[in-house]
Chains A and B, each alone.
Chain A
Amino acid sequence: MTKTKTGTKDSKRRKTALKSVAKKTPKTKQAAIPAEQLLQFYKDMLLIRRFEEKSGQLYGMGLIGGFCHLYIGQEAVVTGIQAALTDIDTVITAYRDHGHMLACGMDPKGVMAELTGRADGYSKGKGGSMHMFSRDKKFYGGHGIVGATAPLGTGLAFAHKYREDGGITACYYGDGAANQGQVYESYNMAALWKLPVLYVIENNKYAMGTSQERSAAGELYKRGEGWGIPGKKIDGMDVTVVYREAQEAVDFVRGGGGPFILEVETYRYRGHSMSDPAKYRTKEEVQSVRDERDPIQTVRNMLVADKTYSEDDLKEVEKEIKQIVGEAAEFAQQSPEPDPSELWTDIVL
């Protein structure tokens, strides 16, 4: 995958990335993340990246319809957070949700088949990009209404507490949703009842086409202060940072500390949805993030520096991911459209 043409640039990038990592994680504070874990991060993020690129392609071919919001650029967020969770924990997010589903362990074939609106999709083709669920993987959607996930996720956390099962909820929403009133109604109840919920604000800087500067007064991670909810802003382009910070936050929430707000600074490379030409930001801005802070390249650089795995090992991973995504895309095109009778099923139980 690494091109001879870009080889020099790559090694330069590696050096810069390593320098910044060393700065951010002083050795005295944390033990190094083992190479196996780094490799897993690389795999998980690459799967999301390649899956989303393929989704974009299938959208362009007219095989995926409607709205399609890609997660490209934000992969480190969900990968790092999910790695800090356990099997009993529940997850909910908004409409930019393909990455979350893959990170929860949902089958790429079923996700892709839902995107193409086919019978073998997670929702039998009846939900689409924004509406997929897996009770088995504790993934509770996939919601298209901006801000709605905050009280819904708080309700999932309420259920953990009610059942005393030791689980917590990772409740994801974006910087745009952070301005919805129901988010603060949720903060209030979560703090009041000490609910085990980790609010993850995926701050990709743009609420659709409106930059954070133009839509949000003050700092998002501080917005729980009035309710006594601690918050932290972290670098969401480095999966190791996200993972470590998530571990701390998860420990706090699981230990009975109540809700915690993790504002994760990230960046989406693509438009808000497929039909967004992204005129509200410059190409240079996008390119500089891609060149200097790409989360996948960053972890790849770490793996190369670590030397536990050879370049061939990494290429093997890349090949494997390519195959998984290729198979998912093939499956999603081969799967039949839902039977017309499905129009009238699953309305009420």
Chain B
Amino acid sequence: MTIEILMPALSPTMTDGKLAKWHVAEGDTVAAGDVLAEIETDKATMEVEAVDEGTIGKILIPEGTENVAVNAPIAVLLEEGESDSDIKAESSAAAPQKEEKEAKEEKPEDKAEETDVRPQAPAAAAAPASDEDKFFAETVTQTVREALRDGMAEEMRRDKDVFVMGEEVAEYQGAYKVTQGLLQEFGEKRVIDTPITEMGFAGVGTGAAYAGLKPVVEFMTMNFAMQAIDHIINSAAKTLYMAGGQLGCPIVFRGPNGAAARVGAQHSQCFASWYAHVPGLKVVAPYSAADAKGLIKAAIRDPNPVVVLENEIMYGKSFDVPVSEDYVIPIGKAKIERAGTDVTLVSFSISVGRALEAADALAEQGISAEVINLRSLRPLDTETVLNSVRKTNRLVTVEEGWPVAGIGAEFSAVLMENGFDDLDAPVLRVHGADVPMPYADNLERLALPQIEDVINAAKKVCYAG
């Protein structure tokens, strides 16, 4: 059977080109890799190489021919033991086949219809069930910092594959003392001080997770993770999909996120919407110490890459934390911190505190606010928020980050799409000012959402002066 040499495409967008020159003549023997011809497009000139060995039986398209369609036969190659007569026999046999093919191609809409069947995105999974309430029967008072440490320590005792790495996590006991005591208990093999090399150690952690270890990678602050974001997204989040499910990446990236106090623009940024944007990641942002412990344990146990957005100002705040080591918060489950009937305030991380204080003030003015602590930013528990709005008919979002494409913007869209008929007022967003964070005390205060802003927004959607 003779082999047809076809006009190749140089790129997926090329449809035709010029056959500029033949390097072989009929009767020449060629081996795989030999240059047969040169073709040209408006962008490039390329050589056509032989893939099979044989003798050039016939040149079908002479050199200098313009607009040769991609995949058109340009020559016929004879294999060992074949002769010219094979060409004739086959080309006459091939002709009707070609017509058949063309006839088929007359109805391109058939194929379009066939390929256009787009599967629906799976409906947002219902928020997972949680049995967390029962664990609050026995609690201790702990800071967020201690809760994070205890959560990590419990998981490290439970699973030898869990280790902690980052800048100052071991001997210094953590830049913010979150890893205090871990080196003493688990030793330097599992609590590892890295050089100041975010991209490097995020990549090393990700590689170790490919091999099945469960790294907890601490960034001194999430601001510095911007140097490592390629590994978080391209190397960690996308791998399971790119590998067709073969290879996951069980890793935790954690550190303080958002504004601290008076540290200026490069150290004060909320990355919530950056990471929440990325399929393949899970993203959590604890508010209380109980959240911190339940979520860090869930993050370490999760087989996917999880970003844990902590908050420096919250590290020293104390809360009741369940004592049980079985207390784990399912990722994707929001918490109603305070029930109310008139307006829903939805928030995460440090802003939950502002929403709760605003709710106290609003109650004094006769407005009952329901406060939802999202806890997870990916997946988002839209169900809990939509259920709440069904009751209150009003939504105000509260976050420190910038407004454009932020978490508040996402909830505005969720409400437009799925809660429009439940709304009695537009969704309002309370957020950080759309500026780089200023240093001056007064300007910084102006840039951050304040309790007063939340109160005003809530009153506005309640049409209460």
State the CA gap A93–B125 with chains docked (Å).
36
Contact between A140 and B207 (Cβ–Cβ < 8 Å)?
yes
Is A348 interfacial (CB-CB < 8 Å)? yes
Contact between B31 and A340 (Cβ–Cβ < 8 Å)?
no
State the CA gap A134–B245 with chains docked (Å).
11
| Least distance between B404 CB and chain A CB atoms (Å) | 25
Is A28 interfacial (CB-CB < 8 Å)? no
State the CA gap A148–B232 with chains docked (Å).
11
Contact between B29 and A186 (Cβ–Cβ < 8 Å)?
no
Residues of B within 8 A of A343 (CB): 118-119
Contact flags A1-44 to B (C-beta < 8 A → 1, else 0): 10111100000000000000000000000000000000000000
Contact between A162 and B199 (Cβ–Cβ < 8 Å)?
no
Residues of A within 8 A of B279 (CB): 347-348
Is B179 interfacial (CB-CB < 8 Å)? no
Closest A residue to B6 by beta carbon equals: A61
Contact between A348 and B243 (Cβ–Cβ < 8 Å)?
no
Contact between B280 and A60 (Cβ–Cβ < 8 Å)?
no
Number of interface residues of B (CB under 8 A): 66
Interface positions of B from 271 to 294, Cβ below 8 Å from A: 279-280, 282
Supposing A6-B31, A133-B247, A274-B11 touch, asked if A189 and B194 sit within 8 A by C-beta, the answer is: yes
Is B322 interfacial (CB-CB < 8 Å)? no
Interface positions of A from 180 to 194, Cβ below 8 Å from B: 181-182, 185-186, 188-189, 192
Is A244 interfacial (CB-CB < 8 Å)? no
Residues of B within 8 A of A192 (CB): 195
State the CA gap A125–B220 with chains docked (Å).
38
State the CA gap A256–B294 with chains docked (Å).
40
Residues of B within 8 A of A269 (CB): 33
| Least distance between B304 CB and chain A CB atoms (Å) | 5
Contact between B207 and A155 (Cβ–Cβ < 8 Å)?
yes
Residues of A within 8 A of B336 (CB): none
Contact flags B426-451 to A (C-beta < 8 A → 1, else 0): 00000000000000000000000000
State the CA gap A277–B44 with chains docked (Å).
6
State the CA gap A312–B111 with chains docked (Å).
48
A56, A122, A155, A274: the one contacting B203 at CB < 8 Å is A155
Closest B residue to A148 by beta carbon equals: B235
Contact between A124 and B208 (Cβ–Cβ < 8 Å)?
no
Contact between B122 and A152 (Cβ–Cβ < 8 Å)?
no
Could you count the A-B residue pairs with CB atoms below 8 Å apart for me: how many are there?
212
State the CA gap A57–B50 with chains docked (Å).
9
State the CA gap A72–B7 with chains docked (Å).
21
Residues of A within 8 A of B112 (CB): none
State the CA gap A50–B32 with chains docked (Å).
8
Contact between B204 and A348 (Cβ–Cβ < 8 Å)?
no
Is B299 interfacial (CB-CB < 8 Å)? no
Closest A residue to B10 by beta carbon equals: A275
State the CA gap A23–B210 with chains docked (Å).
43
Contact between B246 and A152 (Cβ–Cβ < 8 Å)?
no
State the CA gap A132–B33 with chains docked (Å).
26
Interface positions of A from 39 to 92, Cβ below 8 Å from B: 49-50, 53-54, 56-57, 59-62, 65-66, 72, 90, 92
Contact between B9 and A152 (Cβ–Cβ < 8 Å)?
no
Contact flags B202-233 to A (C-beta < 8 A → 1, else 0): 11111111111100000000000000001100
Contact between A124 and B210 (Cβ–Cβ < 8 Å)?
no
State the CA gap A306–B70 with chains docked (Å).
45
Supposing A148-B231, A162-B189, A275-B10 touch, asked if A155 and B204 sit within 8 A by C-beta, the answer is: yes
Contact flags A171-185 to B (C-beta < 8 A → 1, else 0): 000000000011001
| Least distance between A292 CB and chain B CB atoms (Å) | 15
Given A54-B51, A61-B9, A271-B46, 12 further pairs, Cβ under 8 A:
A3-B53, A56-B8, A61-B6, A62-B12, A123-B244, A131-B242, A141-B243, A159-B210, A274-B11, A275-B11, A276-B44, A349-B248
**Contact residues of A with B, CB < 8 Å?**
1, 3-6, 49-50, 53-54, 56-57, 59-62, 65-66, 72, 90, 92, 121-127, 131-135, 140-145, 148, 150-160, 162-163, 181-182, 185-186, 188-189, 192, 269, 271, 274-277, 290, 340-341, 343-349
Nearest 9 interchain pairs by C-beta? A155-B207, A151-B203, A60-B8, A185-B200, A159-B211, A124-B244, A123-B244, A346-B245, A131-B242
* Interface pairs (6), CB distance under 8 Å: A148-B203, A155-B205, A159-B212, A185-B203, A343-B118, A346-B243
